[in-house]
Amino acid sequence: MNTYEAYKNKAINLSAFGLDRCGNDYTYFCTPVGADIFAAPGVDGIHYCTIKALGEIVFAVEPMGYAGRHAFPVAENFEDFLRLLMACGHEAYIEQAHAWSREQYDNFEKENGIIDVSDDVLYNK
């Protein structure tokens, strides 16, 4: 079983990173056709997905984002997405960083800090 399948089978919990599970019924006007939606923070319609036709690339989808740029790649695959979450500590870094200057990113980090998530939290132990 690969990591994405383990997540789909509920062996991995992303709630410590601000993400809840969701499925393909969590769609918006800007959700890419063929999206396999797997998680959302529960605000502003933001969600994360892969797109079958594009392989394992993970996309963030922002219905409230910039016109014409509602969906954008954030990781080459699910494992890299998990690495980003663990390095950043919260999904907001991944979803918003493309629109931030370095100063804005640093300010967000100062205000929010990075959490330390143990394997027990990540793997539902």
The reported pLDDT for the residue numbered 106 is 86
Please, are residues 12 and 120 in contact by the beta-carbon 8 Å criterion? no
Which band of pLDDT confidence, cut at 50, 70 and 90, is reported for residue 68? confident
- Quote the tokens at residue 100: 């931030």
What letter represents residue 83's amino acid?
Answer: R
pTM of the model: 0.84
Q: Give the CA angle between residues 84, 89, 94 to the nearest 5°.
A: 50
Q: Which two tokens stand for residue 101?
A: 């200057």
Task: Report, as an integer, the average pLDDT of 15-40.
Answer: 94
Which residues have C-beta within 8 Å of that of residue 114, sequence separation ≥ 6?
88, 89, 90
Tell me what the mean pLDDT of segment 19-29 comes to.
Answer: 92
What pLDDT was estimated at residue 117?
Answer: 55
Tokens of 4: 């994405």
Predicted pLDDT of residue 17: 93
- Using pLDDT thresholds of 50, 70 and 90, give the confidence band for residue 114: low
